[in-house]
Amino acid sequence: MKTLRSAACLLVLAGSMQAQPGLAFDVNTGKAPTEVVIPNVIPVIYGSVSPTAGDAPLVLRITTLVTNSWFDAIAPYHPTAVGAYSNLPRQAPEAATDANRNVAIIYASYRVLNSLLPQHKATWDAMLIGAGLDPDDDSQDPNTPIGIGNLAGMAVAAARERDGMNQLGDEGGRTYNRQPYADYTGYAPVNSAYELRNPSRWQPAIVTSGSGIFRVQQFVTPQLRKTEPYSYDNPQVFQTPVPFASNASHRQAYRAQADEVLAVSANLTDLQKMTAELFDDKLRSLGFSALFASQTRGLSLEQLVQYDFVTNMAAFDTAIAIWNEKHRYDAVRPFSAIRYLYGDRPVTAWGGPGMGTVDELPASQWTSYLKVADHPEYPSASASFCAAHAEASRLYLGDDDLGWAIPVAAGTSLVEPGVTPQAPLAIEFPTWTQFERDCGQSRLWGGVHFQASITAGQAVGNEIGGLAYDYMMQLLSGVSE
Amino acid sequence: MKTLRSAACLLVLAGSMQAQPGLAFDVNTGKAPTEVVIPNVIPVIYGSVSPTAGDAPLVLRITTLVTNSWFDAIAPYHPTAVGAYSNLPRQAPEAATDANRNVAIIYASYRVLNSLLPQHKATWDAMLIGAGLDPDDDSQDPNTPIGIGNLAGMAVAAARERDGMNQLGDEGGRTYNRQPYADYTGYAPVNSAYELRNPSRWQPAIVTSGSGIFRVQQFVTPQLRKTEPYSYDNPQVFQTPVPFASNASHRQAYRAQADEVLAVSANLTDLQKMTAELFDDKLRSLGFSALFASQTRGLSLEQLVQYDFVTNMAAFDTAIAIWNEKHRYDAVRPFSAIRYLYGDRPVTAWGGPGMGTVDELPASQWTSYLKVADHPEYPSASASFCAAHAEASRLYLGDDDLGWAIPVAAGTSLVEPGVTPQAPLAIEFPTWTQFERDCGQSRLWGGVHFQASITAGQAVGNEIGGLAYDYMMQLLSGVSE
């Protein structure tokens, strides 16, 4: 519930960035992405996709497809642009108004959201009605904003329903009891949650909501590696260095990288803890940094759409390449390595919520500050997403300036509520480079990654951030694939 | 959310059985269990223990400890009774008023609930304030109702904090990052979710909330078999027959019992489906049948407490014995056996929500109508709980009459919303024997159990239902353990 309240607060923040609270959406002067669509999508993501918005592949695919639909919906109003999945008739210059763009954006979102999250149709209907639009208007007239929006959204939805992620749940020949997003590639972990047969390989963690039901993790969407990227053809080209220190036969290096995680855990600052929590939530970190930048830069509606699309697509395309590497190396997480190395022997580390640093902590009782995500360790997905996001931002915005400062009230930690931070603090990102670096390091602070994984993830993210920008520039110049 | 709404509706129903809506609780004429405590506990159980109230061992332990605290809180007002965990000074006959009993019941509940669910302290505080009582009154005067309630509740909480269920999360020598209700007995499944190495043994199922995160089951609280029962000493004495047909080397019998599950699945009626859903929810079935009976029988406050305690304790003690057998046999569930026997070959069965019966269903795509619970198959826990509940009810109430008819509106199924039942229907239980039988069979209808498991579970439940009644009669006669 804390997360939901927090989401609701952020939502108000996001809304207030563009809208006058209490006033209806003004189609002529408003910005539908931030005033209409995002405020409706965020609660659904927190409520029924990922309670902490930490399940990156699932969250990113939704945000990418929605922003893609915005891009495609306004392409016909641009002098040269084509959509990623549509090439609708170019509209006369006098039709290129924000009123038309807003209407097209909302209908495009409606079509994509009903494809991605059909169980929330009532929310999407209300979203349109709230904006003064008719959810039952299924016009396909390519020379009206409603028809353009519908066509653009339907094209994105159709192209992406079978992009490899198994959105429909029928991959692998399944007809009955379809299982959306289920693995169809046959991944099975080498280790069980109960036995670390191979200390170099990933071990699913045992997770609980705290009331007695325990469950074992499953690698989330291993099929992401087979999913269609936007900005390149083949994820195999983004190869990361072999994670030498995650190979337990390299005993000294294996131990050194685990010891580094313990040393960081023993010396966690409140700023590190709160930064780790920020970056664990992809909406609060990736999403809100983009909203902040678009406001401070005074981006037009058209620019806002382009910028949101390029940053989301950059992270999504990065995820595909990173999943390919995660699957290839299937590497061990710190919690398994630390138990393997030290068993019940004492280590010095963070001792759990409110316990601070403990000198004689049995290694088997150590846990990471952040909950560990449902996938193998190497490379770091979060580090790669932030690097892609930062690189796409630098390229689109033209410089490295960010200037984002996030005030954090005392005791607002989700991990240590009422305790951390002891005093109010601010998380500050003067530049995108700082944002990217702190994001990466925060995965070490959070105890869920080794250093090598962060560096490797950032390199892939930076590279694909550039490719995503190039791809969008191609679309803007009128070159479709 | 559907479940929560449904819980809220039932809550209103429960409240209206005893209370005038909108009126404050009358301590002289009201019944604190049904008017004050239950309406506060139910939403917490649905909200943070078990969304469908289907996780029986966890739900039953809460309801048993709470009703135990009621029993202990009013024992001093009885001519001869002692509490299960307290023997407080007997009060003068003129003090034996429902006003005093109600106050003692509420304070006892407050102490137990703060031990069991401390994260919901604000709810328990509000519960007392709503009843016109002071949550900060920690009197331990054994001659006032507040003191009696506090002492009785604290005694139950103290006795049960280390009853074997690992409520505090520190069993097995764990000091840091305690894990309430975690297994400390070292259970690990023979089969993985990915490979059925031994087709006679339990295989954890892969479960999902539907948005892309999949998790693997873990046997819930295997330590329940080591938990302290109320009404007997040693669960080993309740041995069930060896589940012959669950041994895959008995090929013909193994196949016959799996085929029976498929045949039932192929012929499911709306009444069977809705009955299966009813009994899957332990609050709606066990809890509300007891409330219904206490109302129709016109039980006094004292009788209501005794009856609620004996039925909950009967099911809880049964769970301990059943878990001992579940752990011993670690038996295969129907979904695994059906896949093992038939692979991708076609069978005739229910084809999933809204699909009805499908003639050429690949066996690997079959699923049970109900979701399968997090524990081995044999014996059926639900069948055993209903049998214990029915036997304790027959003994306490003096006959087999129930006369409970539950109206079910069209389309209110949680599994097939909007589809099932096609027309309104009523689920009717003229007797406790019918309730017990339909409950047991509903586990076969739901596809989660074989027939032998139901029969075996019912035998244990009937036996322990009788022991629980005897134990409470002892307490009422003043004999403590």
| Cα B273 to Cα A37, B118, B321, B353, distances in angstroms | 39, 37, 28, 11
In the predicted structure, residue A19 carries a pLDDT above the cut 60: no
Six-digit token pair at A141? 């007239």
Say yes or no: A352 contacts chain B, CB-CB below 8 A.
Answer: yes
What is the mean predicted confidence (pLDDT) over A228-249?
Answer: 97
Question: Would you say residue B300 lies in a domain?
Answer: yes
Question: Would you say residue B115 lies in a domain?
Answer: yes
CA distance linking residue B25 with residue B272, whole number of Å: 39
Say yes or no: A55 contacts chain B, CB-CB below 8 A.
Answer: yes
> What CATH number does residue A315 fall under?
1.10.606.20
Q: What's the pLDDT score for residue A12?
A: 38
Say yes or no: B171 contacts chain A, CB-CB below 8 A.
Answer: no
Same domain as A410, residue A324? yes
Say yes or no: A366 contacts chain B, CB-CB below 8 A.
Answer: yes
Q: Is residue B115 within 8 Å of residue B69, measured between CB atoms? A: no
Which residues does chain A have within 8 Å of residue B183's beta carbon, measured at their own beta carbons? 214
CA distance linking residue B99 with residue B82, whole number of Å: 20
Same domain as A463, residue A363? yes
Say yes or no: B351 contacts chain A, CB-CB below 8 A.
Answer: yes
Kindly state the percentage of chain A with pLDDT values over 90.
90
Among candidate residues B268, B414, B313, B291, the one with its CA nearest the CA of residue B33:
B291
Question: Would you say residue B408 lies in a domain?
Answer: yes
- Mean residue pLDDT across chain A: 94
Closest-CA distance, A201 to chain B, in angstroms, reads 17
Same domain as B337, residue B270? yes
| CB burial readout B132-151, b (16+ within 10 A) else e | ebebeeeeeeeebbbbbbbb
Same domain as A415, residue A276? yes
Question: Would you say residue B364 lies in a domain?
Answer: yes
Same domain as A350, residue A240? yes
In the predicted structure, residue A431 carries a pLDDT above the cut 90: yes
pLDDT, one tens digit per residue, over A345-369 is 999 999 999 999 999 999 999 999 9
Q: Is residue B175 within 8 Å of residue A351, measured between CB atoms? A: no
Pick the residue from chain B with its C-alpha nearest to A188: B194
Say yes or no: A414 contacts chain B, CB-CB below 8 A.
Answer: no
Residue B50: band (very low, low, confident or very high) from pLDDT cuts 50, 70, 90:
confident
- Mean residue pLDDT across chain B: 94
Question: Would you say residue B196 lies in a domain?
Answer: no
Tell me which residue range forms the domain holding B333.
206-477
What is the mean predicted confidence (pLDDT) over A54-68?
Answer: 90
Q: Is residue B78 within 8 Å of residue B147, measured between CB atoms? A: no
In 10 A of CB B358, how many CB atoms? 20
Same domain as B363, residue B240? yes
Which residues does chain A have within 8 Å of residue B206's beta carbon, measured at their own beta carbons? 218
In the predicted structure, residue A21 carries a pLDDT above the cut 50: no
**Domain ends where: B100, B125, B160?**
B160
Among candidate residues B371, B55, B384, B368, the one with its CA nearest the CA of residue A214:
B55
In the predicted structure, residue B19 carries a pLDDT above the cut 60: no
| Cα B407 to Cα B275, B280, B288, B419, distances in angstroms | 11, 17, 13, 16
Residue A481: band (very low, low, confident or very high) from pLDDT cuts 50, 70, 90:
low
pLDDT, one tens digit per residue, over A242-255 is 999 999 999 999 99
Candidate from B174, B183, B358 with C-beta closest to A176: B358
Residue A437: band (very low, low, confident or very high) from pLDDT cuts 50, 70, 90:
very high
In the predicted structure, residue A284 carries a pLDDT above the cut 70: yes
Same domain as B336, residue B233? yes
- Omega before B189 within 30 of 0, i.e. cis: no
Same domain as A119, residue A234? no
Which residues does chain B have within 8 Å of residue A208's beta carbon, measured at their own beta carbons? 179, 182
pLDDT, one tens digit per residue, over B185-218 is 999 999 999 999 999 999 999 998 777 899 999 9
In the predicted structure, residue A282 carries a pLDDT above the cut 50: yes
Six-digit token pair at B307? 């009856």
Say yes or no: B365 contacts chain A, CB-CB below 8 A.
Answer: yes
Which residues does chain B have within 8 Å of residue A355's beta carbon, measured at their own beta carbons? 176
Which amino acid belongs to residue A185? T
pLDDT, one tens digit per residue, over A132-151 is 999 999 999 999 999 999 99
Question: Would you say residue B309 lies in a domain?
Answer: yes
Question: Would you say residue A405 lies in a domain?
Answer: yes
Say yes or no: A43 contacts chain B, CB-CB below 8 A.
Answer: no
Which amino acid belongs to residue A448? V
- Return phi, psi of residue B313, to 5°: -65, -35
Question: Would you say residue B320 lies in a domain?
Answer: yes
Q: What's the pLDDT score for residue A50?
A: 78
Say yes or no: A122 contacts chain B, CB-CB below 8 A.
Answer: no
CB-based contact B352 A176, cutoff 8 Å: yes
What contacts 24+ positions apart, CB below 8 Å, involve A95-100?
A: A97/A28, A98/A27, A98/A28, A98/A29, A98/A30, A98/A31, A98/A300, A98/A301, A99/A27, A99/A28, A99/A145, A100/A145
pLDDT, one tens digit per residue, over B403-458 is 999 999 999 999 999 999 999 999 999 999 999 999 999 999 999 999 999 999 99
pLDDT, one tens digit per residue, over B365-383 is 999 999 999 999 999 999 9
Same domain as B281, residue B388? yes
In the predicted structure, residue B270 carries a pLDDT above the cut 80: yes
pLDDT, one tens digit per residue, over B302-347 is 999 999 999 999 999 999 999 999 999 999 999 999 999 999 999 9
Tell me how many domains chain A contains: 2
Interface of B with A in 184-203 (CB under 8 A): 188, 192-195
Same domain as B371, residue B458? yes
Candidate from B49, B192, B358 with C-beta closest to A211: B49
Residue A47: band (very low, low, confident or very high) from pLDDT cuts 50, 70, 90:
confident
Same domain as A146, residue A224? no
Same domain as A242, residue A113? no
Q: How many CB pairs under 8 A join A and B?
A: 123
Q: Summarize chain B as % helix, strand, coil (round to 5).
A: 55, 5, 40
ipTM for this model: 0.90
CA-based torsion, A67, A459, A226, A234: positive or negative? positive
Q: Are strands A214-217 and B214-217 parallel, antiparallel or unpaired?
A: antiparallel
> What pTM was computed for the model?
0.92
pLDDT, one tens digit per residue, over A385-430 is 999 999 999 999 999 999 999 999 999 999 999 999 999 999 999 9
CA distance linking residue A454 with residue A28, whole number of Å: 44
Q: What's the pLDDT score for residue B54?
A: 65
In the predicted structure, residue B247 carries a pLDDT above the cut 60: yes
Q: What's the pLDDT score for residue B14?
A: 43
> What CATH number does residue A134 fall under?
1.20.144
Residue B481: band (very low, low, confident or very high) from pLDDT cuts 50, 70, 90:
low
Query: Which has the higher per-residue pLDDT, A208 or A474?
Result: A474
Residue A239: band (very low, low, confident or very high) from pLDDT cuts 50, 70, 90:
very high
Q: What's the pLDDT score for residue B53?
A: 65
